[in-house]
Structure 1
Amino acid sequence: MSISGNCNVSRPLACLKLTMAIVITLLCFFGTNTLAFYAGAVRDVPNFQHSPRIDGLARFALNEFNKQQNAQLSFSKVVRAREQMVSGMVYYLTMEALDGHRTTGLYLAKVWVVPWTNFTQLEDFKQLDADKDGYQTSLWHAVRVQDPMVKEAAENAVKILQQRSNSLMPYELQEIVSAKGKVVNALNIFDLLLKIKWENKVQNYEVEMKRTLEGKWTMN
């Protein structure tokens, strides 16, 4: 099937009508499903955990959101990455980020990239409900022992151990030997190995500390 016509610049209205007629005819002939072909299926990005490009896009999205909303989120890591081919590529990035209260949350960013024009734009950014959106847990990962939240968790662990012991002799934190962290239902959980002095003895304690949404610490 072919459709042809002459478009004279002196007759813009006739040209517009002809163009609309061609579009409508093509839609009727091929069907609207043909247009959907140009938007590819959403698929997982392989090996995204080791991709500087994915990390860079996630940080870009976070920075754009912070500027737009005057927020103070800081990037932690990407936990899932998906992509969809359009005119360029759309990335759906699920990431962990810390807010101003050092509470870790899950966020979903939609970033549109057109590489041949150096175009990158944040399309959407929202916080996820961990239970509703199916991200109940993340894997344990190493955390710096100098991290302020790790130090806070360790100090509260010593206080709880002191309370549970009913001892008049104080427990003293000597060293945070190692720390691991993860997020469960938007709550920060740390597995800590602590060197603690009590009386004249120094012992290692392995504790699991959980920070509630209200900022309180509990020990499992």
Structure 2
Amino acid sequence: MAELIRSRVVTLTVLVTLLCLLCTVSYGRLVGGRKAVANVKSNEEVQELGRFSVEEYNRSLKLLAAEEEVKFVEVVEAEEQVVSGIKYYLKILTVQNGASRMFESVVVVKAWLNSKQLLNFAPSSNDDALVKWMLAVTLMMVQQVEIMMK
């Protein structure tokens, strides 16, 4: 009888432990998964990353003597992903040539290295796909020129 009670206690303990573990894993943030950033418009770090993205893009335009600069308005949507640092996926409202334009940006921040790197900056998927491709290629070319200049 005592062995039967002990067996049930052990089984119950194992089940409760597994249930707690399962709840903890599902509640926590998945490593590698994207998570929406709350209160984007009041989040100073996210807004600063949007400003950084636009500044880097404008710097690349100056190197290529390309079109008119983009003016930062605000980040309207953001997601973050834990990688070797934090990767931010931003939707940025801008003004270019007097017209509002939406851009998408990807920035990686490595706080321990005091580093941030713009990986991509292109018109939102609502814009023309060809323009998006051209801007992405332009940014890659500028990055290659910068690497060669170092």
Q: Mark yes or no: TM-score above 0.5.
A: yes
Choose from 64, 80, 92 the match for 2:56: 64
| Residue of structure 2 in register with 1:95 after alignment | 92
CA RMSD of aligned residues (A): 2.1
Query: Rg larger in 1 or in 2?
Result: 1
| Residue of structure 2 in register with 1:161 after alignment | none
Comparing both structures, which one devotes a greater share of its residues to strand? 1
Q: Secondary structure at the match of 2:45?
A: helix
- TM-score, normalising length from structure 2? 0.59
Q: Which moved more, 1:38-47 or 1:120-129?
A: 38-47
| Residue of structure 2 in register with 1:48 after alignment | 40
Runs of 4+ in 1 over 3 A off after TM superposition: none
Task: Count residues in correspondence.
Answer: 95
Choose from 90, 102, 111 the match for 1:106: 102
Question: 1:76 corresponds to which letter in structure 2?
Answer: V
| Residue of structure 2 in register with 1:27 after alignment | none
1:76 aligns with 2:73: yes
Q: Which runs of 5+ in 1 are unaligned?
A: 1-37, 134-220
Question: 2:124 corresponds to which letter in structure 1?
Answer: L
Question: 2:73 corresponds to which letter in structure 1?
Answer: S
The offset of 1:129, in angstroms, is 3.5
Q: Which runs of 5+ in 2 are unaligned?
A: 1-29, 63-67, 130-150
Question: 1:96 corresponds to which letter in structure 2?
Answer: L
Structure-2 change in CA distance of 1:130 and 1:50 (3 Å): same
- Cα distance in 2 for partners of 1:131, 1:116 equals 36
| Residue of structure 1 in register with 2:134 after alignment | none
The offset of 1:120, in angstroms, is 0.5
CA displacement 1:136-158 (0-9 Å, x = unmatched): xxxxxxxxxxxxxxxxxxxxxxx
Structure-2 change in CA distance of 1:132 and 1:103 (3 Å): closer
Q: Which moved more, 1:65-74 or 1:82-91?
A: 65-74
- TM-score, normalising length from structure 1? 0.41
Identity, % of aligned pairs?
Answer: 29
Greater RCO, 1 or 2 (C-alpha within 8 Å, sep 6+): 2
